[in-house]
């Protein structure tokens, strides 16, 4: 038991499941009042976490849970940008897991 680290958990605003922080994407409302994806998880501002799944993003937007968590209006342009980022992250995860295919 000694030496075991606690894994920080956060709740996805889309599906409301508690998951390890590293599995989730942090969306932050910065001090300049802009909404950004926080890749480091350390940006200053009000943050919300979401699973890297489009269904969770859709649920968070439809239920206005992302707006409530960030205390900021979420427009359609931002939702489109977040969708693109989720797709990019999903494709990066798939390609990084496979090794080179030299034959």
Structural domain contains residue 98: no
Structural domain contains residue 99: no
Structural domain contains residue 42: yes
Helix, strand or coil, per DSSP, at residue 24: coil
What are the pLDDT tens digits along the chain (103 aa)? 567 889 999 999 999 999 999 999 999 999 999 998 888 889 999 999 999 888 999 999 999 999 999 999 988 998 998 889 888 877 776 666 554 444 4
Residue length, the chain? 103
Query: What is the pLDDT at residue 1?
Result: 56
Structural domain contains residue 87: yes
Q: How far apart are CA 102 and CA 41, in angstroms?
A: 36
CB atoms within 10 A of CB 11: 15
Query: What is the pLDDT at residue 93?
Result: 64
**Domain tally for the chain?**
1
Parent domain of 41? 9-93
Enumerate the H helices of the chain as residue ranges: 54-62, 65-70, 76-97
- State the pTM of this model: 0.80
State both tokens at 19: 């998951």
């Amino acid at each position: 038991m000694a030496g075991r680290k606690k894994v920080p958990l956060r709740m996805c605003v889309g599906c409301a499941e508690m998951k390890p922080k590293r599995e989730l994407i942090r969306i932050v409302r910065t001090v300049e009042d802009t909404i950004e994806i926080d890749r480091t998880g350390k940006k200053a501002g009000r943050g919300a976490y979401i699973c890297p799944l489009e269904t969770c993003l859709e649920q968070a937007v439809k239920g206005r849970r992302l707006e409530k968590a960030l205390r900021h209006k979420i427009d359609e342009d931002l939702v489109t940008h977040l969708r693109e980022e989720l797709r990019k992250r999903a494709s990066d995860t798939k390609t990084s897991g496979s090794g080179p295919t030299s034959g």
